[in-house]
């Protein structure tokens, strides 16, 4: 209380700049007069009496100083004074200030921009209430290495009723549907979930209501909840939308609610957000109903009971999975070793992108380091020039702490100015980067510059300021008084102690640059290899367009119920596509290469003794006979499908080379028979051809085995998956944009309810599948370039400064007979030694940290020899180049002038 009162009184004095000198002077005068009078009374002579009084009073200046200190706030006063002085100092050398602030702004801007992505994706908690209790539930068969397998309704019931750790468990499935009824049919992403989905996530509607227990039916409920975006786009944000009917894959649904704009389905990120939510009891669609082994449900999310920790829940689930395996031994083959695992929802959503973002964040922090080292070096050079000033200050009584404080004020002023510019830069850079941020980065839409980002930027500014300010500050406060004054007077100060510090700074800068360049090299090499990789087909001059046949739940509404009706449609579509001018050939495929998720289905092979522990799996791809010809995928043996490989004829299949090798390692697969799915009544298909491998699941994915099936032959829904989406592929020299209206027109003149979407060239699709890799590789590459630039500026600056300081010595050497070549060698040598040490340190550092990047590489080892050879050579070359300029300038030193000036 007393302290506060005193502080406020001082603050008031400080704020009003009241320096009440008058009062103290009068009091002192009075004091001395009284003391003098007293002394006179004691019998002293007047002069002596006055003298004794003054002596007794003590040092007037010290008293006055203490008095002033008590009057105001000396610490803050000192700081303001330092700040004023620092501003003057910077204003005196605007060039230096501009360069320093700009580099700091670059470093802090880059770091802040990346941090705002990291913050939104990794750090900020999910936008649901109590997000820590939300988990994603996985069912795994670790014994056969199949993970995230589907589950059955009884298993879902076990999670709800038997596990006892969940408050709510919701099963979900995701897909896309045709929305019809508007001006043009649309393809929308939808999620079908248990009725408790929204209460589990804690969502509230914007208008209307969300799903609840009243929506429970064994099959699909006729209610639908739509996203805010769809509401605005299709219904002009009309509040009367509630109760309106929409058609999804021909089935009628009634809109019951609209979600708020910020709500997002917590699933994987994709180019298109989920915009339609349906609900189902998941009990009517499985056939036979709800047996334990009818595993058709793809995803489950849960909310843990309050107070249940993740570890407790996991223990309980592991125990329960054990019990179930024993109780229902027939449904859980022992070799699968079926388990249930949970993962925090946040981790499940962002897991894959985490290493990429961490590498990016690491890269920018290294940039900030380099920037700091560079500025430290600049400041050291300035400090050497100001040694005399500091020496005078100390001679006049400034304490060492005071000088450090003053120097730090200068560097903090620099770093905060740079930081402010950096934040502005980050906001701009972020807007720019968001245009390139791949849609596969989860939560990308949540990236903003918020308080956390701003505090981060301030913290980084403070740290950089301290980092680059401390060395020069301590250095200048340490300088020995007498030598500094003498040396300064002589004007030749390349003293060894400060130089060793400067050398060390430049070497660390180079080492960090090497680390960044090696990282960028590895990522870029991965990208380049992937771009060069042969996808197994010729993507140039191919245009793809997606179409989806509706699959209504009510068979009476399904115009494509039988294979005969589908075949009629496909043949008509084929005729019309081939008739488009400029189209050489048209084909159809159920799933375009590099798009979508790989599906795994059980595979049956005739006459193959099933080895225990082995699971036969493959992904079926349904194609039209011309598909391989359009894609120019080479046939190895046998034949392609023909137009008359249709229903009623011999069921046929084509496999790719790796499938052939894997399942028929020592036999010819031609003529052998296989079967997809677990249903023992489905028909065998005879293999009629083998094609080269097509990287179907993405260029950077070691794909699953593929089996191709003709589009004209009956292929039943397997494990709840209906094959109704397909893509048209056209071999043509025309661009996609020109073909799009014709494709749409032709498709919709057969069936006006079919949406045509994602019309692009095949090369574009391949390109897009590498977007996340390209994003990170190019960013890190850019940072590495920046690091290289900064490091070469660093080495250039150091040598240029050294040449300046040593011009006297150089002049002397030349006067004594040294040739220009000797001088050139002298300086270059210094540069090469510095660069060499930096490169060696950097290579050691990279070799020991590169393995952290392993998960981001594909086909390139973390210690790739080419990268580890090229990067050091490149850096050395640049360093030599940077040292050459000052070295060349050194040879231009005029010995006469140098000696005279000294």
Residue 474 beta carbon to another protein: minimum distance, rounded to whole angstroms: 22
Of 5 and 326, nearer to another protein (C-beta) is 5
Alpha-carbon 506 to chain mean position: 30
Residue 394 beta carbon to another protein: minimum distance, rounded to whole angstroms: 17
Q: Can you state the angle between helices 771-805 and 354-385, rounded to 10 degrees? A: 10
Of 3 and 451, nearer to another protein (C-beta) is 3
Residue 67 beta carbon to another protein: minimum distance, rounded to whole angstroms: 5
Tell me how far apart the terminal alpha carbons of the chain are, to the nearest angstrom. Answer: 63
Could you give the CA distance from residue 450 to residue 442 in angstroms, rounded to a whole number? 18
Residue 457's contacts (CB-CB under 8 Å, 6 or more residues apart) are: 108, 111, 112, 115, 419, 422, 423, 426
Could you give the CA distance from residue 167 to residue 79 in angstroms, rounded to a whole number? 57
Could you give the CA distance from residue 134 to residue 128 in angstroms, rounded to a whole number? 9
Query: Which residue has tokens 């073909």?
Result: 739
Enter the tokens of residue 539: 């993507």
Of 59 and 489, nearer to another protein (C-beta) is 59
Of 13 and 758, nearer to another protein (C-beta) is 13
Number of C-beta neighbours around residue 222 at 10 A? 16
Q: Is 646 helix (H, G, I), strand (E, B) or coil?
A: coil
Residue 373 beta carbon to another protein: minimum distance, rounded to whole angstroms: 36
Enter the tokens of residue 68: 């002033």
Of 5 and 88, nearer to another protein (C-beta) is 5
Of 74 and 753, nearer to another protein (C-beta) is 74
DSSP one-letter code for 151: B
Q: Can you state the angle between helices 74-92 and 400-434, rounded to 10 degrees? A: 60
Could you give the CA distance from residue 108 to residue 276 in angstroms, rounded to a whole number? 41
Of 59 and 816, nearer to another protein (C-beta) is 59
Which of 484, 475, 494 lies closest to 389 in space, CA to CA? 484
Residue 470 beta carbon to another protein: minimum distance, rounded to whole angstroms: 24
Could you give the CA distance from residue 382 to residue 191 in angstroms, rounded to a whole number? 64
Q: Can you state the angle between helices 820-849 and 865-891, rounded to 10 degrees? A: 150
Q: Where are the alpha helices (DSSP H) in 335-353?
A: 345-350
Write out the residues near another protein by the rule CB under 8 A: 2-3, 5-6, 9-10, 23-24, 26-28, 30-31, 33-35, 37-38, 55-60, 62-63, 65-67, 69-71, 74
Residue 20 beta carbon to another protein: minimum distance, rounded to whole angstroms: 9
Residue 403 beta carbon to another protein: minimum distance, rounded to whole angstroms: 16
Could you give the CA distance from residue 755 to residue 178 in angstroms, rounded to a whole number? 7
Residue 395 beta carbon to another protein: minimum distance, rounded to whole angstroms: 19
Of 11 and 877, nearer to another protein (C-beta) is 11
Of 52 and 682, nearer to another protein (C-beta) is 52
Residue 447's contacts (CB-CB under 8 Å, 6 or more residues apart) are: 116, 117, 120, 121, 430, 434, 437
Could you give the CA distance from residue 204 to residue 257 in angstroms, rounded to a whole number? 10
Of 28 and 635, nearer to another protein (C-beta) is 28
Residue 27 beta carbon to another protein: minimum distance, rounded to whole angstroms: 5
Residue 64 beta carbon to another protein: minimum distance, rounded to whole angstroms: 9
Residue 276 β-bridge partners:
190, 226
Pairing between strand 251-258 and 220-226? parallel
Residue 61 beta carbon to another protein: minimum distance, rounded to whole angstroms: 10
Of 41 and 240, nearer to another protein (C-beta) is 41
């Amino acid at each position: 209380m007393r302290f506060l009162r005193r502080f406020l009184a001082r603050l008031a004095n400080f704020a009003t700049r009241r320096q009440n000198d008058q009062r103290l002077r009068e009091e002192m005068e009075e004091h001395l007069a009284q003391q003098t009078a007293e002394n006179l009374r004691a019998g002293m002579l007047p002069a002596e009496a006055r003298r004794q009084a003054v002596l007794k009073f003590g040092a007037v200046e010290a008293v006055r100083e203490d008095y002033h200190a008590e009057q105001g706030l000396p610490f803050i006063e000192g700081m303001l004074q330092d700040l004023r002085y620092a501003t003057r100092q910077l204003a005196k050398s605007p060039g230096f200030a501009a360069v320093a602030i700009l580099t700091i702004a670059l470093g802090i801007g880059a770091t802040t921009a990346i941090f705002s992505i990291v913050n939104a994706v990794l750090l900020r908690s999910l936008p649901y209430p109590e997000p820590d209790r939300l988990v994603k539930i996985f069912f795994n068969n670790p014994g056969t290495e199949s993970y995230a397998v589907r589950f059955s309704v009884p298993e879902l019931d076990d999670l709800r009723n038997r596990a006892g750790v969940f408050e709510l468990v919701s099963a979900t499935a995701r897909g896309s549907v045709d929305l019809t009824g508007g001006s043009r049919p649309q393809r929308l992403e939808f999620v079908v979930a248990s009725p408790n989905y929204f209460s589990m996530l804690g969502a509230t509607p914007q208008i209307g209501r969300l799903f609840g227990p009243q929506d429970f039916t064994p099959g699909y409920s006729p209610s639908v909840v739509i996203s805010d975006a769809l509401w605005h786009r299709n219904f002009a944000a009309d509040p009367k939308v509630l109760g309106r009917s929409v058609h999804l894959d021909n089935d009628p649904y009634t809109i019951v609610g609209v979600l708020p704009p910020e709500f997002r389905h917590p699933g994987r990120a994709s180019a298109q957000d989920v915009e339609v939510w349906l609900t189902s009891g998941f009990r009517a669609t499985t056939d036979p109903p709800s047996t334990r082994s009818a595993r058709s449900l793809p995803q489950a999310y849960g909310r843990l009971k309050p107070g249940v920790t993740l570890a407790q829940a996991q223990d309980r689930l592991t125990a329960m999975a054990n019990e179930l395996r024993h109780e229902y031994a027939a449904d859980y083959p022992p070799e699968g070793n079926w388990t249930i695992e949970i993962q925090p929802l946040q981790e499940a959503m962002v897991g894959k992108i985490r290493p990429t973002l961490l590498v990016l964040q690491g890269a920018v922090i290294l940039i900030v380091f380099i920037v700091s080292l560079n500025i430290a070096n600049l400041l050291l050079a300035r400090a050497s020039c100001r040694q005399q000033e500091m020496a005078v200050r100390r001679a006049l009584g400034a304490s060492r702490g005071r000088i450090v404080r003053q120097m730090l004020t200068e560097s903090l002023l620099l770093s905060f100015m740079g930081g402010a510019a950096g934040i502005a830069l980050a906001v701009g850079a972020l807007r720019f980067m968001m245009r390139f941020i791949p849609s596969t980065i989860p939560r990308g839409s949540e990236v903003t510059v918020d308080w956390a980002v701003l505090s981060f930027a301030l913290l980084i500014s403070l740290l950089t300021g301290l980092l680059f300010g401390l060395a020069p500050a301590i250095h200048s406060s340490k300088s020995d008084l007498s030598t500094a004054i003498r040396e300064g007077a002589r004007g030749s100060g390349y003293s060894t102690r400060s130089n060793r510090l400067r050398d060390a700074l430049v070497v660390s800068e180079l080492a960090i640059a090497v680390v960044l360049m090696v990282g960028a090299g590895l990522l870029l090499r991965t990208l380049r290899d992937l771009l060069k990789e042969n996808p197994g087909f010729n993507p140039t001059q191919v245009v793809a367009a997606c179409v989806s046949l509706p699959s209504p739940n009510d068979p009476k509404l399904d115009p494509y119920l039988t294979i005969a009706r589908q075949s009629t449609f496909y043949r008509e579509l084929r005729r019309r596509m081939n008739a488009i001018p400029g189209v050489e050939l048209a084909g159809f495929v159920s799933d375009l290469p590099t798009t979508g998720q790989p599906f795994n289905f059980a595979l049956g092979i005739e006459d193959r003794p099933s080895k225990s522990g082995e699971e036969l799996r493959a992904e079926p791809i349904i194609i039209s006979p011309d598909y391989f010809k359009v894609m120019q995928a080479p046939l190895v043996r046998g034949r392609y499908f023909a137009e008359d490989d249709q229903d009623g004829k011999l069921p046929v299949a084509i496999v790719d080379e790796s499938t052939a090798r894997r399942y028929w390692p020592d036999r010819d697969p031609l003529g052998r028979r296989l079967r997809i799915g677990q249903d023992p009544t489905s028909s065998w298909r005879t293999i009629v051809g083998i094609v080269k491998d097509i990287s179907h699941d993405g260029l950077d994915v070691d794909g699953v085995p593929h089996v191709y099936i003709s589009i004209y032959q009956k292929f039943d829904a397997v494990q709840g998956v209906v094959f109704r989406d397909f893509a048209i592929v056209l071999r043509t020299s025309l661009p996609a944009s020109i073909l799009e209206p014709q494709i749409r027109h032709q498709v919709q003149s057969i069936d006006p309810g079919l949406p045509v979407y994602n019309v692009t060239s095949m090369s574009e699709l391949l390109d897009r599948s590498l977007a996340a890799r390209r994003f990170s590789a190019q960013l890190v590459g850019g940072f590495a370039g920046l690091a290289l630039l900064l490091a070469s500026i660093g080495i250039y600056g150091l040598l240029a400064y050294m040449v300046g300081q040593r011009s006297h010595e150089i002049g002397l050497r030349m006067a004594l007979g040294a040739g220009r070549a000797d001088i050139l060698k002298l300086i270059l040598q210094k540069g090469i030694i510095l660069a060499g040490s930096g490169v060696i340190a950097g290579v050691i550092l990279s070799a020991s940290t590169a393995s952290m990047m392993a998960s981001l590489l594909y086909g390139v080892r973390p210690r790739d020899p080419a990268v580890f050879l090229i990067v050091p050579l490149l850096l050395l070359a640049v360093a030599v180049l940077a040292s050459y300029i000052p070295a060349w300038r050194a040879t231009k030193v005029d010995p006469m002038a140098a000696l005279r000036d000294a």
